[in-house]
Amino acid sequence: MVRFEKDKIVVEIPTMFPAADWLEHVRNLTYAVGAIDKDRVDNDHDCIYTLCSLILEMMPEEGDLLEMLRAKGLR
């Protein structure tokens, strides 16, 4: 589901395994951006920049990342 709030777009994806599914979505999106043929995309700079911004926004804050690593016993 997508909803709009003041100054933001909120995307919610229902899932039973949020961390694993999130990682898979980010990985797939990254591979897809890497496979873009700039000669086949109109206005490719804006398209690629927007997709890269989306990927960056999907990454956790440092504190959240450390907590996820602790929960997995990796830190």
Per-residue pLDDT of 20-58, as tens digits, reads: 888 888 889 888 888 887 777 766 567 778 888 888 888
How many angstroms from the chain centroid is the CA of residue 2? 14
> If you search the block for the tokens 């504190």, which residue do you land on?
63
What whole-number distance in Å separates Cα of residue 27 and Cα of residue 7? 26
| Contacting residues for 43 by C-beta, under 8 A, at least 6 apart | none
What whole-number distance in Å separates Cα of residue 66 and Cα of residue 75? 7
Does position 72 have pLDDT exceeding 90, yes or no?
no
Q: Using an 8 Å Cβ cutoff, are 37 and 30 in contact?
A: no
